[in-house]
Amino acid sequence: MIPSYPLNVTDLLSRLPVQKVTPRWLNESKVALYMLRLDLTDASVSGNKWFKLAKNIIDAQSAGHQQLLSFGGAYSNHIFSFSSACAEAGLSSVAVIRGEELSADSNPMLKAVKGLGTTLIFVDREAYRRKYEQDRLTYYRSQVGEFCLIPEGGSNQAGVSGAEAIGELVMNQATEFDHVMLACGTGATLAGVVRGISGYDNAPMVHGFSSFGMRSVAAGTGWLTKEVEQFLEEGQSEGRSSRGFQLHADASLPGYGRLSQELMHFGAEFLEDTGVLLDPVYTLKLMAFVQRWCQQDCLESQKVLCIHTGGLHGWLGYLDEESGGDMPAQLLGTIKQRLLSL
């Protein structure tokens, strides 16, 4: 079910549990590890996308828009959630997809999105890079008519405002945490969490993990660093203060959208130990990063909350690839059980 806005934190506390997890790699570690299960928000409008789309959809409806347009790759969880939310809200939807060689039948994700009634526009990489330029927006309007633009990932101030409720969820738990960790794509969810905890005493340090490499998180110059700082700066202009955050990357892990056999086995073990299925693009790599921090005693004896940002539909992109044939049996079986009925 798509959310209403403003989000009801009291209701969310009863629906989205914080689960203590004890994967085998904690061993003798004194770290107490917990996970906020945003993957349980909704079967289709998943995880942090549920929060980021909430205010965007309400704002579009309030302005009288009947059609929304957004952007994503061939296996974009944002596009799946965006299409599902629009269908449920009774709004028309258009998705601009990166890859002119693709079609609605190219993979299970695109087929499902098409089945939800979304109009798909496939563009080459150069056109996609220029997606927000006026000539491109004019072209899209010539194809589908007037629309309300939702940025890629739902990453605008409306999306950040929706994600603030995640920070409030963190601060309204019975357990006080020393650190909060989440994976980052555009930085909007991280900024929302930082803004959401800003009104509380004893707020934890927020850590964002990037799969885009060290250059994306360089202090002052990394594009992800700049994105988060811009979201927070705009929030301050609205009278909101913000706490500190740290961004991290790990060059030893595969880059964005890439998945190794080692990571798949890591995900299978985590599923076996905790019962939690991690998504392949974000949370799987976040937990691999957390594992290394724990093994290197970077977190000592502290309480750490990891945010599962949902996005399980991302596994659909690996069922058609050669790597899918080498998935551990339990992982593959769980993915098929959870996703192929969509």
Dihedral, CA of residue 308, residue 310, residue 312 and residue 317, to nearest 10: -100
Kindly provide the residue ranges of all beta strands, DSSP E only, lying in the chain, ordered along the sequence.
18-20, 32-37, 67-72, 92-98, 119-123, 148-149, 179-184, 205-210, 245-249, 303-308
Question: What is the spatial distance between Cα 244 and Cα 42, in angstroms, rounded to a whole number?
Answer: 30
Straight-line distance from the first to the last Cα atom of the chain, in angstroms, rounded to the nearest whole number: 15
Kindly provide the residue ranges of all beta strands, DSSP E only, lying in 17-98, ordered along the sequence.
18-20, 32-37, 67-72, 92-98
Catalytic site residue 76?
A: yes
Catalytic residue among 46, 70, 76, 211: 76
SS3 category, 207: strand
Question: What is the spatial distance between Cα 279 and Cα 285, in angstroms, rounded to a whole number?
Answer: 9
Q: With beta carbons less than 8 A apart as the criterion, state whether 162 and 53 touch.
A: yes
Q: Residue for token digits 């990571």?
A: 263
SS3 category, 147: coil
Give the catalytic positions in this structure: 76
